[in-house]
Structure 1
Amino acid sequence: MSFDWQTCPIEVKNFILGIQKEITKILNDDLVGFYIHGSLAMGGFNPNSSDIDVLAVTNKSIALETKRKLAKFFLNCSNSPYPVEISFMNKKQLRDWQHPCPFDFHYSEFWRERYQDDLLRRTYEFLNEDINTDPDLAAHITILKNRGICMAGKPIAEVFPLVPRSDYISSIVGDFKDCLDSIEEDPIYCTLNMTRVFWYLKEGVISSKEEAGRWGLSALPKEMSITVNKVLGCYTGQKDAYEFENDELVMLRNYIFNSVQNLLHQSGTK
Structure 2
Amino acid sequence: MRVPPEVRAMLDALLPGVQQALGENLAGVYLRGSLALGDFDPLTSDLDFLAVTERPVTDSEFRSLADLHAQLAQSSNRYARRLEGSYIPRAAVRRFPVGGRRHPTLGTDWAFGWGEHRDNWILELWTVRERGVVLWGPDPRTLIAPISADQLREAVRSELTARLRDWAAQPEGPEWLLPRFYQAFEVQTMCRALYTLAHGTLPTKPRAVAWALGILPEPWHTLVERTRAWHTEAIPDPTGLAEVLRFVRWAASDGEAAVIVPDPAAPPQSNGSGGGGSTVPASAQQRK
| Superposition TM-score tier, normalisation by shorter sequence | 0.7 to 0.9
> In structure 1, the residue corresponding to 2:203 is in which secondary structure?
coil
Which residue does the alignment assign to 2:61? 66
Residue correspondence of structure 1 range 179-190 to structure 2 within 5 A = 181=167, 182=173, 185=178, 186-190=182-186
CA pair 170-88 structure 1, distance change in 2 beyond 3 A: same
Residue correspondence of structure 1 range 33-72 to structure 2 within 5 A = 33-72=28-67
> In structure 2, the residue corresponding to 1:25 is in which secondary structure?
helix
1:18 & 1:167 partners in 2: Cα distance?
35
> In structure 2, the residue corresponding to 1:46 is in which secondary structure?
coil
Matched, 1:22 2:17: yes
Please point out which of 196, 199, 218 is paired with 1:200.
Answer: 196
1:68 & 1:167 partners in 2: Cα distance?
34
Please point out which of 122, 133, 137 is paired with 1:138.
Answer: 122
Paired residue type of 1:204: G
For residues 169-210 of structure 1, give each alpha carbon's deviation from its aligned partner in whole angstroms, at most 9, with x where no partner exists: 343334434555448744212211111111111122311223
Residues 34 and 40 in structure 2, CA contact (< 8 A), matched pair in contact too? yes
Which residue does the alignment assign to 1:210? 206
Residues 192 and 203 in structure 2, CA contact (< 8 A), matched pair in contact too? yes
Paired residue type of 1:108: G
1:161 & 1:178 partners in 2: Cα distance?
25
CA pair 60-242 structure 1, distance change in 2 beyond 3 A: closer
Which residue does the alignment assign to 1:220? 216
> In structure 1, the residue corresponding to 2:92 is in which secondary structure?
helix
Residue correspondence of structure 1 range 66-85 to structure 2 within 5 A = 66-78=61-73, 80-82=77-79, 83-85=82-84
The TM-score with structure 1 as length reference comes to 0.77
> In structure 1, the residue corresponding to 2:85 is in which secondary structure?
strand
Residues 230 and 242 in structure 1, CA contact (< 8 A), matched pair in contact too? no
For residues 95-132 of structure 1, give each alpha carbon's deviation from its aligned partner in whole angstroms, at most 9, with x where no partner exists: 465223446422224442xx5xxxxxxxxxx66xxx96
1:93 & 1:221 partners in 2: Cα distance?
39
Residues 78 and 109 in structure 1, CA contact (< 8 A), matched pair in contact too? no
> In structure 1, the residue corresponding to 2:78 is in which secondary structure?
coil
Farther off after superposition, 49-58 or 243-252: 243-252
For residues 242-263 of structure 1, give each alpha carbon's deviation from its aligned partner in whole angstroms, at most 9, with x where no partner exists: 9654664466445534132565
- Give the RMSD, CA atoms, in angstroms: 3.1
Which structure has the larger Rg?
A: 2
Which residue does the alignment assign to 1:86? 85
4+ runs deviating over 6 angstroms: none
Residue correspondence of structure 1 range 92-103 to structure 2 within 5 A = 92-95=91-94, 97-102=96-101
2:36 & 2:66 partners in 1: Cα distance?
24
Paired residue type of 2:286: G
Which residue does the alignment assign to 2:134? 150
1:37 & 1:66 partners in 2: Cα distance?
23
CA pair 201-226 structure 1, distance change in 2 beyond 3 A: same
For residues 13-56 of structure 1, give each alpha carbon's deviation from its aligned partner in whole angstroms, at most 9, with x where no partner exists: 22112211210111124322111111111122223322211111
Residues 179 and 194 in structure 1, CA contact (< 8 A), matched pair in contact too? no
2:230 & 2:163 partners in 1: Cα distance?
18
Gaps of 5+ in 2: 168-172, 261-281
1:241 & 1:38 partners in 2: Cα distance?
25
Farther off after superposition, 21-30 or 32-41: 21-30
Residues 39 and 50 in structure 1, CA contact (< 8 A), matched pair in contact too? yes
Which residue does the alignment assign to 2:274? none
